[in-house]
Amino acid sequence: MTGSPEVAADFLDEVEGAARNAAELEYDRLLAKQQELAPDAATVNDWSRSYLAELIRKSDYELDSQEVRKYFAYNNVRDGIFTLVQDLFEVEIRPWDGAPVWDASVSAHEMYKDGKLVGRFFLDMHPRDGKFKHAAAFPIRFGPTTDGVPVGALLCNFPAGDHTTGLMEHQQVETFLHEFGHLIHDMFSGQPDYASLHMGNLEWDFIEAPSQMLQNWVWDYDTLAKFAVDADGNTIPPELVEKMVAARDFGIGVNTLRQLLYANVSLDYYNRPPSEVDFDQIWNENQSKLSPFETLPDVHPYASFGHLDGYSAIYYTYQWSLAIAKDLFTEFDANGLRDKATAARYRDLVLAPGSSKPAAALVHDFLGRDWSPDAYEAYLLSAAEGEDVE
């Protein structure tokens, strides 16, 4: 969608400007927490960031992740996500009887719209030896075919079962819905006359936007109240969800700068002749500019940056898509997260067309205007206001 590396770089600079103040305030809070543990501390180490952030969520927001976890058993989460998608997009998910599963833990499902089969999918959701270790949705077959429907699979590594064995972190619930969003995008977009028009051929810097937009629903109390219950059947308290939402944005500034570091490094590794690429120098220059944490010598972090292979120069995709996702969500934010008319327009104008139109045209059809990063930048700026606390 960007059309040139210059457009991508300008966008990343705009996002940096919006995120910088929040990141500085967050770093100060991390340092203050570090000094409670070690009064002589003058800096925060990058490897302590997550631990200190968890302490801040407990002390400043009274949020205990283990208290949250007891409301999210895998079986209930799966059923709740199914119900959300069925209600929002007016589809029905049924068991796929006789499906050729490759492991006993894999389940198979069919999706129907107005009584018509529109797609089939597998859920391979639990860890086992030799399995893919991350979370991703994969197309298996594109429509049209003999029965005219696409087939896909969702692979994750979540605990299995009920409250005894299957308790999930809320972040895992968000990941489930994000990846399931890719899966239903595949289902809806597999209906055109030509298989090449499915969603997989959309511009790569748009492809994450629909799933990033869908993540908002796991922060909505009305959505969570339909499936988030503890072992005794008690629904998650609204007060706890309020704490979750209040703590949600802590770290958004630091984490955004981290994403900008990856995005700028990937651009800079590919925007010059290979003979001019000094991996350490480019990384260290970007880290010095974008990270509040110390640059350690002889670490070579680029060597573990796997996206440099598959994504090459376009790791900026995640930030670009997130900006589009924030803009798309403004329609739901205005009309209601369960508004059927808005959801139907989104399904029919953004998801179902696949790559039959450029992504910018799909978004324009839904919003009635060109997309803008304003909503995302406003969100980052408001996060800074939220961090400015005593």
What is the pLDDT, as a whole number, of residue 390?
39
Residue that wins the pLDDT comparison between 238 and 195: 238
What is the pLDDT, as a whole number, of residue 198?
86
Q: Stretch 186-190: mean pLDDT, rounded? A: 90
Place of tokens 């704490």: 243
What is the pLDDT, as a whole number, of residue 144?
61
The answer, yes or no, to whether residue 44 has pLDDT greater than 60, is: yes
Phi, psi of 295 (to 5 degrees): -85, 115
Q: Stretch 81-94: mean pLDDT, rounded? A: 97
Which residue type sits at 122? F
Q: Stretch 190-205: mean pLDDT, rounded? A: 84
Are the C-beta atoms of 322 and 211 separated by less than 8 Å?
no
The answer, yes or no, to whether residue 12 has pLDDT greater than 50, is: yes
pLDDT digits (tens, 9 = 90+) for 141-152: 887 655 678 999
The answer, yes or no, to whether residue 34 has pLDDT greater than 50, is: yes
Q: Stretch 84-109: mean pLDDT, rounded? A: 97
Place of tokens 């007891």: 70
Place of tokens 């998910």: 93
Residue that wins the pLDDT comparison between 200 and 374: 374
d(CA 65, CA 249): 15
**From its phi and psi, is residue 300 left (phi > 0), alpha (psi between -120 and 50) or beta?**
left
Place of tokens 């139109």: 357
Name the nearest CA neighbour of 45 among 292, 387, 300, 304: 292
Going from the C-alpha of 147 to that of each of 100, 109, 151, the distances in angstroms are 16, 15, 11
Lowest mean pLDDT segment, chosen from 6-10, 44-48, 228-232, 293-297: 293-297
* Angle separating helix axes 359-367 and 317-335, nearest 10 degrees: 20
β partners of residue 137: 154
What is the pLDDT, as a whole number, of residue 59?
95
Q: Stretch 23-47: mean pLDDT, rounded? A: 95
Residues 6+ apart with CB under 8 A from 286: 261, 264, 265, 268
The answer, yes or no, to whether residue 123 has pLDDT greater than 70, is: yes
pLDDT digits (tens, 9 = 90+) for 219-230: 999 999 999 999
d(CA 390, CA 380): 20
**From its phi and psi, is residue 368 left (phi > 0), alpha (psi between -120 and 50) or beta?**
left
For the domain 74-231, what is the CATH code?
3.40.390.10
Mean pLDDT, the chain, whole residue set? 94
What is the pLDDT, as a whole number, of residue 298?
87
* 143 burial via Cβ count (<10 Å: 0-12, 13-18, 19+): buried
Are the C-beta atoms of 305 and 264 separated by less than 8 Å?
no
Which residue stretches of 90-141 are H helix? none
